[in-house]
Structure 1
Amino acid sequence: MTASAAMTELMSFQRETEALGEIAGRLGWDQETVMPRGAAEQRADEISALEGVLHARRTDPRIGEWLEAARPEGAVEEAQLYHIRRSFARNTKIPARLAAALARQTSLSQGIWAEARANDDVAAFLPTFGSVLSLVREQAAALAEGGDLYDALLDDYEPEASGARLSQMFGALRPRLVSLRERILGAEVTPPRLTGTFAEAGQLQVSTALARAFGYDFTRGRIDKAVHPFSSGSGNDVRITTRTVATDPFNCFYSTIHEVGHAAYEQGIDQGYLLTPLGRGVSMGVHESQSRIYENQLGRSRAFTGHLFGLMKDTFGDFGIADPDAFYGAVNRVQSGYIRTEADEVHYNLHVLLRFDLERALVAGDLDPQDLEEAWNTRFETDFGVRVDCPANGMLQDVHWSVGLIGYFPTYTLGNVYAGCLHQALRAAVPDLDDHLASGDTGPATAWLRETLQRHGGLRTPRETVKHACGFDPHEGPLLDYLETKFGALYGLS
């Protein structure tokens, strides 16, 4: 077989595998949005069956033969082969039985978690979580081949990262975050709090306007409601979800902007990479950098919140906040809270670091699932100064562990670190950015992100992707400087 023929056959086979993977993702989207509750068992069997097909394709011996014979022509083909080779090496370590069992168990577990969360019933969740954790640890052992179990899982979400290196970065973040938090909570300035109720129809109307403002292409996407907001899909079918809370429209608005950041990344990737390994975000950390810079550095900026203030006035009338400056304070109000997805920028990473430490202990066998609730509550009280009031506000709040996404959480903080670096570079590249944001025009910002980062998909490794966009190696400094500058001014800190 010639090198050219091997490359052609490999990429044709890979496109079919990628297409089937998108179908599997659509089943997951359906399950979390519109699937009837009674279909859970059947859906678990469907997802398990499809995962069996996908695993067989991803471990097909012909892939090894094609990889051996193929010779890349240029950087794009070289990157395609890198991703296929990496996927083939990982998947061949996982028995087909285990891949199917994980798919079925996590599909069932998602529904059990949702019901347990609604009922504040940890006991109802623990048996299925124990099963998920056991399967995930078995998967980690197969992948690690004697190495660190957690690193083996982390590599699936953030290639080339390690628990030890992230611990070092997080260790540098924590002291300045804790110091900033304490100074803010001791400040005399108290921004106003949003009060009252806001009709769901109005929230969804503003949510749709925000999605459009941030460049979400509705001809290739849609917005639905879910318990836990998420983005799903790639290329020309990228769907997002949001949620509404009558007393907290910011939950809806910023969940939407956050998920649009994820979706814009997928929609912005070069169409030439469609249904190939380069045709999706390169890592969850880089993905999170897009959602966080959209949500925070852009969406919560003084300039853009002035525009959002006008949208809310037009939609809800007088809602109790006097002017754009007061509204900016309300949007960015710092306060201890239970829910990670609703946390302000100062507290958010403390939520993530808690989860990072707990899941590492679970994987290592140092923490039993039966003791997870107490471990969570104790750590939360230490970090946030309050005791968790109910499981839905504690260990049951996130969907991730129920569906086996262990090793995922640290990519949220890594994404914030990347976003801090990107924001610094963006400000240098677009010096009049605030003038545009004040009128609701995110175009210069989103165009810069699309050109420097999003369109390249998986062409480069995660850190190289961010470095290419920023012009420097990513590190935690820009994020910490941004937070201290922003909240120092907002709270009058010296």
Structure 2
Amino acid sequence: MSDYNELMGFVRETEALSQVAGRLGWDQETVMPGGAVEQRAEEHGAMASVLHARRIDPRIGGWLETAVAEDDVAAAQIRHIRRSFERAAKVPAQLASAIARETSRAHRIWAQARADEDVAAFLPALDKVLQLKREEAQAIAGRADPYDAMLDDYEPGATAAQLSAMFGAMRPRLVALRGAIRDKDPAPMLRGTFPEGEQMALTRDLALAFGYDLNNGRIDKALHPFSSGSGLDVRITTRTNVDDPFNCFYSTIHEVGHACYEQNIDRDYLLTPLGAGVSMGVHESQSRIYENQIGRSRAFTGWLFGQMKDRFGDFGIASADDFFACVNRVADGFIRTEADEVQYNLHVLLRFDLEQALVSGDLLVRDLEAAWNDRFASDFGFAVDKPSHGVLQDVHWSEGLFGYFPTYSLGNVYAGCLHTALRADVPDLDDDLARGDTSRATGWLSDKVQRHGGLYAPRDVIARASGGAPSEGPLLDYLEAKFGAIYGL
């Protein structure tokens, strides 16, 4: 057996164990009894210890020295394994286990604090997680910026300086577009009550319409929608609100974008480093283009309008054009995941700046709520009314996911590039979308992006698919054209 084959056999076992660890997280979010939190924290810690030991196993270093890559796929596998090995080797096993335990505990504390609107109950747990993640990032970064080490975990090759420049170029045009829209009459709103059962029935149809394979997936409910798993077991969650079915429908479409990315990766890469999405930015590009450029397009919303009329009867919207404006309504709101396309990235930039300040020590955890509320009032022009609409709304920091938030806006930028290329390649796409048929759009994305998994570097994936280096221009042009038409700008 060649050294490369021995290496890959060992790594496949590690990837399988990693999937088991991920299933613990899915269970915790969906069906785990509340009283099991302390035991689950120990289980997470134990799995983290096992995985960390395997990822720094000295045999990997030996195999990497002698393994021969006979093709581009093998070269990419080795590249990913080497990167993971070198990063993991810098993190003490005890620290990796402690992070897994504390983030599992902090997640449950956050969920209860959010329900109770009690920021003070969460801050000690957040402070402990932040200290551990700082220690991990410093071990990886050495003399470099610890926040860049955190970013690299989710978007390999990205730096805070690069993203700050990109986001800085986006902010003025987004603010100007929002200001112009505010001077116009508001878009129409839904009226009525939308039963949970009917929402879940339609959300299943939407998942299928976007290509989600339920033979290898599930749709469950959770407080915070998410996607979990890869390959042959990819699960999503959504949530319902009887007053707002769009929350359910577009959360589902968004998570289906993530799930289809994982389901459509070349099966030859199953349980290998190439068998998962290459970065969170590329992952987010799939969820956002499914949700927004396809799911909120005039053509597709025309089809959805008919589906909702059939299931819910009259809900206060007179025409497909009004429904399109309703789906894309720009309105004040607190919640990032419910924000319209115009304002969504402003929510992300707030988090990006605050978490950089937390990691650097310029912002103390005890001052986080006040800093959040001040920044929100400055950016959005109104005050946060309660913690679940402010600093407690997102799950990420409780899980130690510092460096994750900016990948949401980066994913939007990538989606803008991909959408421009998709429309050029499939100019009559709206004819399909008007029938609820997304297959040519999702097929294009599967071919150009998803099937490759981790074969190429993140920016290279987007550049190969869209024909040029990623930039914020296509996204901003799309937003100005779409919302200019809706609001008559």
Q: So what's the TM-score if we normalise by structure 2?
A: 1.00
CA distance in 1, matches of 2:333, 2:199: 22
1:268-306 deviation digits (Å, cap 9, x = unpaired): 000000000000000000000000000000000000001
2:191 is equivalent to residue 195 of structure 1: yes
For residue 431 of structure 1, the aligned residue among 423, 427, 431 is 427
Native 8 Å contact 2:189 2:316 kept in 1: no
What amino acid is aligned across from residue 212 of structure 1 in structure 2? L
Work out which of the residue numbers 357, 362, 367 in structure 2 matches 1:366.
362
In the TM superposition, 1:307-322 aligns within 5 A as 307-322=303-318
Counterparts of residues 35-114 of structure 1 (less than 5 Å): 35-114=32-111
* Counterpart among 454, 472, 476 of residue 472 in structure 2: 476
Q: Does 1:222 align with 2:224?
A: no
Q: Following the alignment from structure 2 to structure 1, what is the Cα–Cα distance between the partners of residues 186 and 219?
A: 35
**2:289 aligned with 1:293:** yes
Matches within 5 A, 1:38-437: 38-187=35-184, 189-437=185-433
Matched, 1:23 2:23: no
Q: Which residue of 2 aligns with 1:460?
A: 456
CA RMSD of aligned residues (A): 0.6
Match among 21, 30, 34 for residue 33 of structure 1: 30
1:195 shift after superposition: 2.2
SS of the residue aligned with 1:246? coil
Distance 2:283 2:20 in 1: 21
Q: Which residue of 2 aligns with 1:447?
A: 443
Output one character per residue of 1:171-219: Cα deviation in whole Å (capped at 9) or x when no partner: 00000000000000112x3210112221000110110010000000000
* 1:6 corresponding residue in structure 2: 3
Partner SS for 1:450: helix
* Matched-pair contact (CA < 8 Å) for 2:254–2:291: yes
Determine the C-alpha separation between the residues in 2 that align with 1:418 and 1:62. Answer: 38
Deviation at 1:5, TM superposition (A): 1.1
Unaligned runs of 5+ in 2: none
Deviation by residue 1:324-358 (Cα, 9 ceiling, x = unmatched): 11100100000121000000000000000000000
Where 2:228 maps in the other structure, the secondary structure is strand
- How many angstroms apart in 2 are the aligned matches of 1:28 and 1:315? 34
Please list every run of 5 or more consecutive structure 1 residues that lacks an aligned counterpart in the other structure. none
1:352 and 1:367 map into 2 onto residues whose CA distance is 18
Measure the CA separation in 1 of the matches of 2:6 and 2:342: 50
Structure 2 CA distance for aligned equivalents of residues 359 and 49 of structure 1: 28
Tell me the SS of whatever aligns to 1:278.
helix
Q: Is the 8 A contact 2:231 2:263 kept in 1?
A: yes
**Amino acid aligned to 2:157:** E
Q: Structure 2 CA distance, aligned partners of 1:60 and 1:314?
A: 58
Deviation at 1:20, TM superposition (A): 0.2
Partner Cα separation in structure 2 for residue 377 and residue 102 of structure 1? 28
Aligned partners of 1:145, 1:129: CA distance in 2, in Å? Answer: 24
SS of residue matched to 1:386: coil
Distance (whole Å) between structure 1 residues aligned to residue 191 and residue 415 of structure 2: 30
Displacement of 1:323 in angstroms is 1.2
Partners of 1:194 and 1:315 lie apart in 2 by 14
Identity within the alignment, %: 69
On the 8 A contact 2:147/2:359 being kept in 1, the answer is: yes
In 2, the alpha carbon distance for the partners of 1:482 and 1:262 equals 22
Aligned residues: 489
Which runs of 4 or more aligned residues in structure 1 lie more than 2 Å from their structure 2 counterparts after TM superposition? none
Tell me the CA shift for residue 320 of structure 1. 1.3
Q: TM-score, normalised by structure 1?
A: 0.99
Q: Which residue identity is paired with 2:103? A: T
Mapped partners of 1:290, 1:469: distance in 2:
12
